[in-house]
Amino acid sequence: MKLLTRTAVRELMDRHGLQPSRALGQNFVCDPGTIQKIVRLAELRSGDQVVEIGPGLGSLSLGLVEAGASVLAIEIDRYLIPALSEVVEGKPVRVLNADANNVDWSTELGDSQWHLVANLPYNVGTSLVLDLLSEVGQITQYLVMVQAEVGYRLAAQPGEKGCGIPSVITSYWGSARVVGHVPNQVFLPKPNVDSVLVRIERSPTPMIDAEFAPLLRLVRAGFGQRRKMIRRSLSAFVSEEQILSAGVDPTLRAEALTLGQWGLLGGIS
């Protein structure tokens, strides 16, 4: 299958009178080698069902189809839809013109298992991934391209640089790893920053036996005052005595706490 080259992307945009929208984070991949790398790292099997958020002009959609997947492509920008539909015509790609934040996932995905493979818009990448992990159990495997800093935050372990609210939420639902790096030259237009590819495996059940809502409340409080020791930053929810009796050191800062320790504190808050 012919993947979209830089010339093809330019030609499509010209012919359809399109200008990339900064507000919608439109940086189109125009390098077939990068598309093949993303698809390889997604480890798809023929027949897999893939949600793609933000297909743009269809660069990645074509790569996913080449791997044997069928694709639900959710694109917010109605001006791109004619060009996208032209690119994926006759292929197993269902285009949905919608904001991914407002999709009724149970209607669209049913009960089956899905992958999510996407070059996510920079402004909505983190919140979208965290919402989907928390709310859409049908999506079990993620391969997302995001701004490098965002990717390292999603995958950071306790104590590592970048450890924060996204890292704890991701680790509650599964495991995340940065599996590749993508230079900014492969995009049109070229963004100011490089991107990384993050693979997330979502577990069918949370990684620890702790309720999500109280844990999230604590994590937000802890990282909201990340320079403070948890005996101060979490004082509205747990006392120093309670932290000690849970076997956690109250002089730690939020970034040093393991998921298990967040779970223990969430359980007594």
Instruction: Kindly report the number of other CB atoms within 10 A of residue 10's CB atom.
Output: 14
Could you tell me which residues come within 8 angstroms of residue 87 by beta carbon, excluding any fewer than 6 positions away? 4, 12, 57, 58, 61, 62
Which one-letter DSSP state was computed for residue 80? Answer: G
Number of alpha helices (DSSP H) and beta strands (DSSP E) in the chain: 12, 9
Nearer to ligand SAM, 80 or 176 (CB): 80
- Decide if residue 216 touches ligand SAM (CB under 6 A): no
99-118 positions binding ligand SAM, by CB under 6 A: 99-101
3-state SS assignment for residue 189 = coil
Is 28 among the residues that bind ligand SAM (CB under 6 A)? yes
Beta bridge partners of 118: 144
Among 18, 39, 74, 144, binds ligand SAM (CB under 6 A): 74
> Interface with ligand SAM includes 136 (CB under 6 A)?
no
User: With binding defined as CB under 6 A, does residue 59 bind ligand SAM?
Assistant: yes
Is residue 53 close enough to count as binding ligand SAM by CB under 6 A?
Answer: yes
- Nearest to ligand SAM of 119, 170 (CB atom): 119
Q: Indicate whether 155 belongs to the interface with ligand SAM (CB under 6 A).
A: no
By the rule CB under 6 A, 167 interacts with ligand SAM:
no
Tokens of 1: 């299958």
Q: Is 222 in the site for ligand SAM (CB under 6 A)?
A: no
Residues 6+ apart with CB under 8 A from 95: 55, 73, 75, 81, 84, 85, 88
Phi, psi of 169 (to 5 degrees): -65, -45
What three-state secondary structure class fits 250? coil
What would the x/- binding string for ligand SAM be over residues 115 to 134, using CB under 6 A? ----x-x--x----------
The yes or no reply on residue 146 touching ligand SAM (CB under 6 A) is no
Q: Which stretch binds ligand SAM (CB under 6 A): 75-83, 108-116, 241-249, 259-267?
A: 75-83
* End-to-end Cα distance, the chain: 55
Span 81-100, contacts to ligand SAM by CB under 6 A: 99-100
**Computed over its alpha carbons, how large is the radius of gyration of the chain?**
20
List residues near ligand SAM by CB under 6 A. Answer: 24-29, 53-56, 59-60, 74-77, 80, 99-101, 119, 121, 124
